[in-house]
Structure 1
Amino acid sequence: MSEMRSLSKSAEAWLHGKNPRTWSRAHFSTKHKSDLLLNNNSECFNKIILEARDKPILTMLEIIRRKVMTRLVSMREAAEKYPGPLCPRIQKKLSEIVNQSNNVWQVYAGNEKYEVNCGLGNKYVVDLLNSSCSCRKWDFSGIPRKHAISCMQLLAVSPETYVNTCYIVTTQLNIYSHLINPVKGPIQWEHAKDMEPILPPMIRTPLGRPKQTRRKEVDEARKSGPKLNKTGQQANYTKCGKTGHNKRTCKGIFGGTQMANQSSSLQILNQATSMDNTASQPFLSQQSSNLLANFRAKLPFKRNNPLGQ
Protein backbone atom coordinates (compact mmCIF):
# COMPACT_ATOMS: atom_id res chain seq x y z
CA MET A 1 0.00 0.00 0.00
CA SER A 2 2.95 2.34 0.57
CA GLU A 3 4.10 1.72 -3.00
CA MET A 4 0.57 2.36 -4.23
CA ARG A 5 0.45 5.59 -2.23
CA SER A 6 3.67 6.78 -3.85
CA LEU A 7 2.17 6.19 -7.29
CA SER A 8 -1.35 7.50 -6.73
CA LYS A 9 -2.98 8.66 -3.53
CA SER A 10 -6.45 8.51 -5.04
CA ALA A 11 -5.96 4.85 -6.03
CA GLU A 12 -4.71 4.03 -2.54
CA ALA A 13 -7.77 5.73 -1.00
CA TRP A 14 -10.07 3.87 -3.40
CA LEU A 15 -8.55 0.51 -2.47
CA HIS A 16 -8.98 1.26 1.23
CA GLY A 17 -12.72 1.38 0.67
CA LYS A 18 -12.76 -2.14 -0.86
CA ASN A 19 -12.66 -5.47 0.92
CA PRO A 20 -9.10 -6.88 0.61
CA ARG A 21 -10.55 -10.37 0.07
CA THR A 22 -11.72 -9.23 -3.36
CA TRP A 23 -8.49 -7.79 -4.75
CA SER A 24 -5.48 -8.93 -2.66
CA ARG A 25 -4.08 -12.46 -2.94
CA ALA A 26 -2.77 -12.21 0.62
CA HIS A 27 -6.37 -12.10 1.88
CA PHE A 28 -7.89 -14.71 -0.43
CA SER A 29 -9.77 -17.60 1.11
CA THR A 30 -8.01 -20.97 0.93
CA LYS A 31 -11.31 -22.82 0.56
CA HIS A 32 -11.58 -22.13 -3.16
CA LYS A 33 -8.47 -23.42 -4.90
CA SER A 34 -7.88 -20.47 -7.20
CA ASP A 35 -5.47 -17.53 -7.05
CA LEU A 36 -6.74 -15.68 -10.12
CA LEU A 37 -7.68 -12.00 -10.13
CA LEU A 38 -9.59 -12.28 -13.39
CA ASN A 39 -13.27 -12.59 -14.32
CA ASN A 40 -12.70 -15.17 -17.05
CA ASN A 41 -15.81 -17.12 -16.08
CA SER A 42 -18.03 -14.11 -16.72
CA GLU A 43 -16.29 -13.33 -20.00
CA CYS A 44 -16.67 -16.92 -21.23
CA PHE A 45 -20.34 -16.97 -20.27
CA ASN A 46 -20.98 -13.67 -22.07
CA LYS A 47 -19.30 -15.00 -25.19
CA ILE A 48 -21.37 -18.19 -25.16
CA ILE A 49 -24.71 -16.36 -24.82
CA LEU A 50 -23.76 -13.66 -27.35
CA GLU A 51 -25.80 -15.39 -30.04
CA ALA A 52 -28.81 -16.05 -27.81
CA ARG A 53 -29.21 -13.03 -25.56
CA ASP A 54 -31.09 -10.86 -28.10
CA LYS A 55 -33.53 -13.63 -29.06
CA PRO A 56 -37.02 -14.27 -27.64
CA ILE A 57 -37.16 -16.17 -24.37
CA LEU A 58 -37.87 -19.64 -25.80
CA THR A 59 -35.32 -19.31 -28.60
CA MET A 60 -32.72 -18.01 -26.15
CA LEU A 61 -33.24 -20.93 -23.76
CA GLU A 62 -33.09 -23.45 -26.59
CA ILE A 63 -29.78 -22.06 -27.86
CA ILE A 64 -28.26 -22.11 -24.36
CA ARG A 65 -29.56 -25.64 -23.71
CA ARG A 66 -28.03 -26.95 -26.93
CA LYS A 67 -24.68 -25.28 -26.23
CA VAL A 68 -24.52 -26.74 -22.72
CA MET A 69 -25.55 -30.18 -23.98
CA THR A 70 -22.81 -30.28 -26.63
CA ARG A 71 -20.20 -28.85 -24.25
CA LEU A 72 -20.82 -31.57 -21.66
CA VAL A 73 -20.23 -34.23 -24.31
CA SER A 74 -17.06 -32.61 -25.70
CA MET A 75 -15.51 -32.07 -22.26
CA ARG A 76 -16.30 -35.63 -21.18
CA GLU A 77 -14.73 -37.06 -24.34
CA ALA A 78 -11.64 -34.89 -23.86
CA ALA A 79 -11.28 -35.98 -20.20
CA GLU A 80 -11.39 -39.63 -21.23
CA LYS A 81 -8.32 -39.09 -23.45
CA TYR A 82 -6.10 -37.67 -20.67
CA PRO A 83 -3.09 -40.00 -20.29
CA GLY A 84 -2.05 -39.33 -16.67
CA PRO A 85 -3.82 -38.97 -13.34
CA LEU A 86 -3.83 -35.15 -13.62
CA CYS A 87 -5.20 -32.79 -16.21
CA PRO A 88 -2.62 -31.94 -18.91
CA ARG A 89 -2.13 -28.27 -17.96
CA ILE A 90 -1.77 -29.06 -14.27
CA GLN A 91 0.67 -31.86 -15.06
CA LYS A 92 2.79 -29.49 -17.17
CA LYS A 93 2.78 -26.82 -14.45
CA LEU A 94 3.73 -29.40 -11.80
CA SER A 95 6.65 -30.61 -13.91
CA GLU A 96 8.00 -27.08 -14.17
CA ILE A 97 7.76 -26.64 -10.39
CA VAL A 98 9.62 -29.92 -9.81
CA ASN A 99 12.53 -28.63 -11.89
CA GLN A 100 12.69 -25.51 -9.66
CA SER A 101 12.86 -27.46 -6.38
CA ASN A 102 16.52 -28.47 -6.61
CA ASN A 103 18.03 -25.32 -5.08
CA VAL A 104 16.34 -25.45 -1.65
CA TRP A 105 17.31 -27.19 1.61
CA GLN A 106 14.80 -28.74 3.98
CA VAL A 107 15.04 -29.70 7.64
CA TYR A 108 12.59 -32.15 9.19
CA ALA A 109 10.92 -30.87 12.38
CA GLY A 110 8.59 -33.81 13.08
CA ASN A 111 4.91 -34.54 12.55
CA GLU A 112 5.35 -34.07 8.77
CA LYS A 113 6.49 -30.47 9.21
CA TYR A 114 9.59 -29.09 7.55
CA GLU A 115 11.64 -25.94 7.59
CA VAL A 116 12.75 -25.07 4.07
CA ASN A 117 15.67 -22.70 3.51
CA CYS A 118 15.80 -20.88 0.17
CA GLY A 119 18.89 -18.76 0.92
CA LEU A 120 19.38 -15.15 2.01
CA GLY A 121 17.29 -15.65 5.12
CA ASN A 122 14.21 -16.89 3.27
CA LYS A 123 12.70 -19.73 5.24
CA TYR A 124 9.29 -21.33 4.85
CA VAL A 125 7.28 -23.75 6.96
CA VAL A 126 5.77 -26.72 5.11
CA ASP A 127 3.04 -28.89 6.62
CA LEU A 128 2.45 -31.95 4.46
CA LEU A 129 -0.27 -33.27 6.76
CA ASN A 130 -2.50 -30.23 6.22
CA SER A 131 -1.26 -29.49 2.65
CA SER A 132 -0.07 -26.04 3.65
CA CYS A 133 2.96 -23.80 3.17
CA SER A 134 3.80 -20.43 4.71
CA CYS A 135 4.11 -18.90 1.22
CA ARG A 136 0.35 -19.65 0.88
CA LYS A 137 0.61 -20.46 -2.83
CA TRP A 138 -0.12 -24.11 -2.18
CA ASP A 139 -3.08 -23.12 0.01
CA PHE A 140 -4.57 -20.89 -2.71
CA SER A 141 -4.11 -22.97 -5.84
CA GLY A 142 -4.06 -26.53 -4.49
CA ILE A 143 -0.82 -27.23 -6.39
CA PRO A 144 2.32 -27.76 -4.22
CA ARG A 145 5.21 -25.37 -4.83
CA LYS A 146 8.95 -25.98 -4.79
CA HIS A 147 9.19 -25.72 -0.97
CA ALA A 148 6.73 -28.57 -0.48
CA ILE A 149 7.96 -30.63 -3.44
CA SER A 150 11.50 -30.66 -2.03
CA CYS A 151 10.10 -32.24 1.15
CA MET A 152 8.17 -34.79 -0.90
CA GLN A 153 11.33 -35.74 -2.75
CA LEU A 154 13.05 -36.25 0.59
CA LEU A 155 10.31 -38.75 1.49
CA ALA A 156 10.38 -40.28 -2.02
CA VAL A 157 6.69 -39.49 -2.48
CA SER A 158 5.12 -38.55 -5.81
CA PRO A 159 3.95 -34.88 -5.90
CA GLU A 160 0.82 -35.92 -7.82
CA THR A 161 -0.59 -37.46 -4.63
CA TYR A 162 -0.60 -34.04 -2.88
CA VAL A 163 -2.37 -32.15 -5.68
CA ASN A 164 -5.92 -31.11 -4.83
CA THR A 165 -8.63 -33.47 -6.01
CA CYS A 166 -10.24 -30.83 -8.25
CA TYR A 167 -7.37 -31.30 -10.74
CA ILE A 168 -7.64 -35.10 -10.94
CA VAL A 169 -9.00 -36.73 -14.09
CA THR A 170 -11.53 -38.81 -12.14
CA THR A 171 -13.02 -35.60 -10.71
CA GLN A 172 -13.34 -34.15 -14.18
CA LEU A 173 -15.10 -37.29 -15.36
CA ASN A 174 -17.52 -37.08 -12.44
CA ILE A 175 -18.26 -33.41 -13.23
CA TYR A 176 -19.21 -34.18 -16.82
CA SER A 177 -20.79 -37.57 -16.16
CA HIS A 178 -24.36 -36.23 -16.27
CA LEU A 179 -26.06 -35.19 -19.48
CA ILE A 180 -28.91 -33.06 -20.74
CA ASN A 181 -31.56 -35.12 -22.48
CA PRO A 182 -32.54 -34.08 -26.01
CA VAL A 183 -35.85 -32.26 -26.46
CA LYS A 184 -38.44 -32.52 -29.21
CA GLY A 185 -39.21 -29.56 -31.43
CA PRO A 186 -41.76 -26.85 -30.49
CA ILE A 187 -44.28 -28.25 -32.97
CA GLN A 188 -44.39 -31.55 -31.03
CA TRP A 189 -44.70 -29.97 -27.59
CA GLU A 190 -47.82 -30.75 -25.56
CA HIS A 191 -50.06 -27.78 -24.93
CA ALA A 192 -51.04 -26.95 -21.37
CA LYS A 193 -54.82 -27.09 -21.04
CA ASP A 194 -55.65 -25.73 -17.58
CA MET A 195 -53.56 -22.58 -17.83
CA GLU A 196 -54.23 -19.11 -19.12
CA PRO A 197 -52.17 -18.01 -22.11
CA ILE A 198 -49.10 -15.95 -21.32
CA LEU A 199 -49.22 -12.71 -23.26
CA PRO A 200 -46.04 -11.04 -24.46
CA PRO A 201 -44.88 -8.00 -22.50
CA MET A 202 -45.68 -4.50 -23.62
CA ILE A 203 -42.95 -3.14 -25.85
CA ARG A 204 -42.07 0.49 -25.27
CA THR A 205 -39.99 1.97 -28.04
CA PRO A 206 -37.81 4.80 -26.68
CA LEU A 207 -36.99 7.88 -28.68
CA GLY A 208 -33.89 8.05 -30.79
CA ARG A 209 -31.81 5.47 -32.57
CA PRO A 210 -31.38 2.20 -30.63
CA LYS A 211 -27.89 1.57 -29.27
CA GLN A 212 -26.08 -1.53 -30.48
CA THR A 213 -22.97 -1.32 -28.30
CA ARG A 214 -22.66 -2.23 -24.66
CA ARG A 215 -22.51 0.55 -22.10
CA LYS A 216 -18.97 0.75 -20.78
CA GLU A 217 -17.95 1.69 -17.28
CA VAL A 218 -16.24 4.97 -16.48
CA ASP A 219 -12.84 3.37 -15.85
CA GLU A 220 -13.11 0.89 -18.73
CA ALA A 221 -10.68 1.30 -21.62
CA ARG A 222 -12.13 2.48 -24.91
CA LYS A 223 -10.73 1.29 -28.23
CA SER A 224 -11.45 4.48 -30.17
CA GLY A 225 -10.65 6.87 -27.31
CA PRO A 226 -12.98 9.44 -25.75
CA LYS A 227 -15.67 10.95 -27.94
CA LEU A 228 -14.97 14.60 -28.82
CA ASN A 229 -17.60 17.24 -29.53
CA LYS A 230 -17.52 19.66 -32.44
CA THR A 231 -17.48 22.83 -30.35
CA GLY A 232 -14.93 25.28 -31.73
CA GLN A 233 -14.33 23.31 -34.94
CA GLN A 234 -14.58 25.08 -38.30
CA ALA A 235 -16.89 23.63 -40.94
CA ASN A 236 -15.51 22.72 -44.36
CA TYR A 237 -17.63 22.36 -47.51
CA THR A 238 -15.93 19.91 -49.85
CA LYS A 239 -17.58 21.03 -53.10
CA CYS A 240 -16.38 24.61 -53.11
CA GLY A 241 -13.24 23.83 -51.09
CA LYS A 242 -13.74 26.70 -48.64
CA THR A 243 -14.03 26.62 -44.87
CA GLY A 244 -16.40 28.37 -42.48
CA HIS A 245 -19.71 27.25 -44.01
CA ASN A 246 -21.63 24.18 -45.12
CA LYS A 247 -23.88 23.26 -48.04
CA ARG A 248 -26.81 25.34 -46.81
CA THR A 249 -24.82 28.55 -46.32
CA CYS A 250 -22.44 28.23 -49.27
CA LYS A 251 -21.77 31.52 -51.14
CA GLY A 252 -20.43 29.91 -54.29
CA ILE A 253 -22.20 28.43 -57.30
CA PHE A 254 -23.48 25.59 -55.06
CA GLY A 255 -26.06 25.68 -52.30
CA GLY A 256 -28.02 28.72 -51.10
CA THR A 257 -26.83 31.48 -53.52
CA GLN A 258 -27.47 29.60 -56.73
CA MET A 259 -31.04 30.90 -56.94
CA ALA A 260 -29.80 34.42 -56.15
CA ASN A 261 -27.47 34.25 -59.14
CA GLN A 262 -30.35 33.00 -61.28
CA SER A 263 -32.61 35.88 -60.16
CA SER A 264 -29.93 38.45 -61.02
CA SER A 265 -29.62 36.95 -64.49
CA LEU A 266 -33.39 37.19 -64.88
CA GLN A 267 -33.34 40.87 -63.95
CA ILE A 268 -30.68 41.62 -66.56
CA LEU A 269 -32.67 39.71 -69.16
CA ASN A 270 -35.88 41.57 -68.34
CA GLN A 271 -34.10 44.90 -68.55
CA ALA A 272 -32.68 43.97 -71.92
CA THR A 273 -36.06 42.97 -73.32
CA SER A 274 -37.90 46.05 -71.93
CA MET A 275 -35.65 48.55 -73.71
CA ASP A 276 -36.69 50.39 -76.82
CA ASN A 277 -36.37 48.04 -79.80
CA THR A 278 -36.75 50.72 -82.47
CA ALA A 279 -33.17 52.02 -82.61
CA SER A 280 -31.11 48.92 -81.87
CA GLN A 281 -33.47 46.01 -82.42
CA PRO A 282 -30.90 43.62 -83.96
CA PHE A 283 -28.29 44.36 -81.28
CA LEU A 284 -30.70 43.95 -78.34
CA SER A 285 -32.22 40.81 -79.75
CA GLN A 286 -28.75 39.33 -80.14
CA GLN A 287 -27.78 40.42 -76.58
CA SER A 288 -30.97 38.98 -75.09
CA SER A 289 -30.50 35.71 -76.95
CA ASN A 290 -26.94 35.46 -75.62
CA LEU A 291 -28.12 36.13 -72.08
CA LEU A 292 -30.86 33.54 -72.47
CA ALA A 293 -28.39 30.95 -73.76
CA ASN A 294 -26.00 31.60 -70.87
CA PHE A 295 -28.82 31.44 -68.38
CA ARG A 296 -30.05 28.10 -69.73
CA ALA A 297 -26.52 26.71 -69.56
CA LYS A 298 -26.34 27.58 -65.86
CA LEU A 299 -29.69 25.98 -65.01
CA PRO A 300 -29.50 22.65 -63.10
CA PHE A 301 -30.56 19.39 -64.74
CA LYS A 302 -34.35 18.82 -65.13
CA ARG A 303 -35.30 22.32 -63.88
CA ASN A 304 -38.36 24.08 -65.33
CA ASN A 305 -37.69 27.10 -67.56
CA PRO A 306 -38.54 30.24 -65.51
CA LEU A 307 -39.24 32.21 -68.77
CA GLY A 308 -41.85 29.74 -69.90
CA GLN A 309 -40.07 29.20 -73.26
Structure 2
Amino acid sequence: MNQLRTHEEKVSSWRHEYSLNCLELYYDFLKIAQFYVVEANGDDGFEVPVGQDKYIVKLEMRRCTCRMWDIFGIPCTHGIRALQYLKRDPLREIHWWYTKKAYLLTYHHKIQPVPSEKFWTVDPAHAMYPPNMMSQVGRPRVKRIR
Protein backbone atom coordinates (compact mmCIF):
# COMPACT_ATOMS: atom_id res chain seq x y z
CA MET A 1 0.00 0.00 0.00
CA ASN A 2 2.76 2.40 0.97
CA GLN A 3 4.75 1.70 -2.17
CA LEU A 4 1.76 2.46 -4.43
CA ARG A 5 1.06 5.65 -2.51
CA THR A 6 4.67 6.88 -2.73
CA HIS A 7 4.82 6.12 -6.45
CA GLU A 8 1.60 8.03 -7.03
CA GLU A 9 2.90 11.03 -5.06
CA LYS A 10 6.15 10.95 -7.02
CA VAL A 11 4.30 10.92 -10.37
CA SER A 12 1.99 13.72 -9.23
CA SER A 13 5.02 15.91 -8.54
CA TRP A 14 6.21 15.80 -12.16
CA ARG A 15 6.34 19.27 -13.71
CA HIS A 16 6.17 17.96 -17.28
CA GLU A 17 3.66 15.86 -19.16
CA TYR A 18 6.16 13.01 -19.71
CA SER A 19 8.36 10.98 -17.34
CA LEU A 20 11.80 12.28 -16.45
CA ASN A 21 13.66 9.26 -17.87
CA CYS A 22 11.73 9.60 -21.12
CA LEU A 23 12.60 13.28 -21.42
CA GLU A 24 16.28 12.58 -20.66
CA LEU A 25 16.43 10.07 -23.50
CA TYR A 26 14.51 12.40 -25.81
CA TYR A 27 16.91 15.31 -25.19
CA ASP A 28 19.91 13.03 -25.76
CA PHE A 29 18.39 12.00 -29.10
CA LEU A 30 17.67 15.66 -29.90
CA LYS A 31 21.34 16.63 -29.40
CA ILE A 32 22.52 13.87 -31.74
CA ALA A 33 19.85 14.63 -34.35
CA GLN A 34 21.16 18.16 -34.96
CA PHE A 35 24.06 16.78 -37.01
CA TYR A 36 21.93 14.79 -39.50
CA VAL A 37 20.73 15.79 -42.95
CA VAL A 38 17.28 14.73 -44.19
CA GLU A 39 16.28 13.76 -47.71
CA ALA A 40 12.50 13.77 -48.27
CA ASN A 41 10.61 11.83 -50.95
CA GLY A 42 7.71 14.29 -51.05
CA ASP A 43 5.39 11.97 -49.14
CA ASP A 44 5.75 10.83 -45.51
CA GLY A 45 8.99 8.90 -46.23
CA PHE A 46 12.41 10.29 -45.37
CA GLU A 47 15.96 9.08 -45.80
CA VAL A 48 18.58 10.03 -43.24
CA PRO A 49 22.15 9.19 -44.29
CA VAL A 50 24.55 8.57 -41.40
CA GLY A 51 28.04 7.72 -42.64
CA GLN A 52 27.77 4.61 -44.85
CA ASP A 53 24.24 3.76 -43.62
CA LYS A 54 20.90 5.17 -44.73
CA TYR A 55 17.89 5.02 -42.43
CA ILE A 56 14.32 5.14 -43.74
CA VAL A 57 11.80 7.01 -41.59
CA LYS A 58 8.02 6.66 -42.11
CA LEU A 59 6.29 9.29 -39.98
CA GLU A 60 2.76 8.09 -40.65
CA MET A 61 3.60 4.67 -39.16
CA ARG A 62 6.02 6.10 -36.58
CA ARG A 63 8.77 3.77 -37.73
CA CYS A 64 12.45 3.92 -38.57
CA THR A 65 14.74 1.19 -39.87
CA CYS A 66 16.94 1.55 -36.77
CA ARG A 67 13.87 0.26 -34.81
CA MET A 68 14.59 2.51 -31.81
CA TRP A 69 11.26 4.32 -32.25
CA ASP A 70 9.42 0.97 -32.26
CA ILE A 71 11.21 -0.33 -29.18
CA PHE A 72 11.20 2.76 -26.96
CA GLY A 73 8.12 4.64 -28.18
CA ILE A 74 10.27 7.78 -28.31
CA PRO A 75 11.24 9.21 -31.71
CA CYS A 76 14.78 8.13 -32.60
CA THR A 77 17.39 10.62 -33.79
CA HIS A 78 16.42 10.04 -37.43
CA GLY A 79 12.71 10.47 -36.67
CA ILE A 80 13.35 13.66 -34.72
CA ARG A 81 15.31 15.10 -37.64
CA ALA A 82 12.54 14.19 -40.09
CA LEU A 83 9.92 15.80 -37.84
CA GLN A 84 12.03 18.94 -37.57
CA TYR A 85 12.30 19.00 -41.37
CA LEU A 86 8.48 19.21 -41.50
CA LYS A 87 8.53 21.79 -38.68
CA ARG A 88 6.52 19.51 -36.38
CA ASP A 89 7.16 19.13 -32.67
CA PRO A 90 8.92 15.76 -32.05
CA LEU A 91 7.90 15.90 -28.38
CA ARG A 92 4.26 15.30 -29.41
CA GLU A 93 5.23 12.00 -31.09
CA ILE A 94 6.28 10.32 -27.83
CA HIS A 95 4.00 7.37 -27.05
CA TRP A 96 1.17 7.93 -24.56
CA TRP A 97 2.45 5.33 -22.09
CA TYR A 98 5.13 7.79 -20.95
CA THR A 99 2.54 10.43 -19.99
CA LYS A 100 1.68 11.45 -16.48
CA LYS A 101 -1.91 10.28 -17.03
CA ALA A 102 -0.79 6.74 -17.98
CA TYR A 103 1.41 6.48 -14.88
CA LEU A 104 -1.40 7.69 -12.64
CA LEU A 105 -3.73 5.08 -14.17
CA THR A 106 -1.20 2.44 -13.10
CA TYR A 107 -1.50 3.47 -9.46
CA HIS A 108 -5.21 4.29 -9.64
CA HIS A 109 -6.44 1.13 -7.89
CA LYS A 110 -5.72 1.08 -4.18
CA ILE A 111 -5.13 -1.92 -1.94
CA GLN A 112 -7.53 -1.81 0.99
CA PRO A 113 -6.18 -2.45 4.51
CA VAL A 114 -6.80 -5.88 6.06
CA PRO A 115 -7.40 -6.35 9.80
CA SER A 116 -5.07 -8.64 11.77
CA GLU A 117 -5.91 -12.27 12.60
CA LYS A 118 -7.29 -11.21 15.95
CA PHE A 119 -10.33 -9.69 14.23
CA TRP A 120 -10.97 -12.52 11.76
CA THR A 121 -14.14 -14.55 12.16
CA VAL A 122 -13.82 -18.23 11.30
CA ASP A 123 -16.93 -19.93 10.04
CA PRO A 124 -16.88 -23.69 10.87
CA ALA A 125 -18.53 -24.40 7.50
CA HIS A 126 -15.48 -23.01 5.71
CA ALA A 127 -12.88 -24.86 7.80
CA MET A 128 -10.31 -26.86 5.83
CA TYR A 129 -9.03 -30.26 6.90
CA PRO A 130 -6.09 -32.24 5.56
CA PRO A 131 -6.89 -34.96 2.99
CA ASN A 132 -7.43 -38.54 4.13
CA MET A 133 -4.38 -40.83 4.17
CA MET A 134 -4.37 -43.28 1.29
CA SER A 135 -2.00 -46.14 0.54
CA GLN A 136 0.20 -45.56 -2.47
CA VAL A 137 -0.26 -47.55 -5.64
CA GLY A 138 2.39 -50.18 -6.41
CA ARG A 139 4.50 -52.69 -4.55
CA PRO A 140 6.03 -51.48 -1.27
CA ARG A 141 9.82 -50.99 -1.08
CA VAL A 142 11.72 -53.98 0.31
CA LYS A 143 15.15 -52.47 0.89
CA ARG A 144 15.55 -49.70 3.39
CA ILE A 145 17.10 -46.40 2.34
CA ARG A 146 20.51 -46.02 4.05
Aligned partner (choices 36, 45, 52) of residue 113 of structure 1: 45
Q: CA deviation at 1:78?
A: 0.5
Deviation readout 1:52-98 (Å, 9 max, x if unpaired): xxxxxxxxxxxxxxxxx111111111100011111011111111110
CA distance, structure 1, for counterparts of residue 62 and residue 46 of structure 2: 12
Distance 1:196 1:175 in 2: 36
1:153 aligns with 2:94: no
Matched residue SS, 2:48: strand
Shift of 1:141: 1.6
1:80 aligns with 2:12: yes
Q: Percent identity?
A: 25
Aligned mate of 2:120, from 189, 197, 216: 189
Distance 1:136 1:143 in 2: 11
Query: 2-side partners of 1:198 and 1:168: how far apart?
Result: 50
Distance 1:139 1:180 in 2: 34
TM-score, with structure 1 as normaliser: 0.40
- Per-residue CA deviations over 1:29-61 (Å, capped at 9, x if unaligned) read xxxxxxxxxxxxxxxxxxxxxxxxxxxxxxxxx
Residue aligned with 2:38, SS: strand
Match of 2:22 in 1: 90
Matched residue type, 1:95: Y
SS of the aligned residue for 1:115 comes to strand
Superposed counterparts of 1:89-238, under 5 Å: 89-119=21-51, 121-198=52-129
Q: SS of the counterpart of 2:123?
A: coil
Q: Higher relative CO (CA 8 A, sep ≥ 6), structure 1 or 2?
A: 2
CA distance in 1, matches of 2:106, 2:23: 19
TM-score, reference length from structure 2: 0.82
Q: Cα distance 1:111–1:192, how it changes in 2: closer, same or farther (>3 A)?
A: farther
Higher-Rg member (1/2): 1
SS in 2 for 1:110: coil
User: What corresponds to 1:215 in structure 2?
Assistant: none
The answer (yes or no) to whether the contact 1:86–1:167 under 8 Å persists in 2 is yes
Q: Is the 8 A contact 1:72 1:176 kept in 2?
A: yes
| 1:218-239 residue CA offsets vs partner (Å, 9 max, x unmatched) | xxxxxxxxxxxxxxxxxxxxxx
Asked whether the equivalents of residues 86 and 160 of structure 1 are also in contact (C-alpha less than 8 Å), the reply is no
Instruction: Measure the CA separation in 2 of the matches of 1:160 and 1:85.
Output: 10
Across the aligned residues of Structure 1 and Structure 2, the Cα RMSD in angstroms comes to 1.4
Look up the SS of the partner of 1:140 in the other structure. Answer: helix
- Aligned positions, number: 130
Letter in 2 for 1:135: C
Note the C-alpha offset of 1:171. 0.4
Deviation, 1:196, is 3.1
| Change in CA separation of 1:91 and 1:198 when aligned onto 2, cut-off 3 Å | farther
Q: Matches of 2:128 and 2:54 in 1, distance apart?
A: 70
* 1:256 corresponds to: none
- Name stretches of at least 5 consecutive residues in structure 1 with no aligned partner: 1-68, 200-309
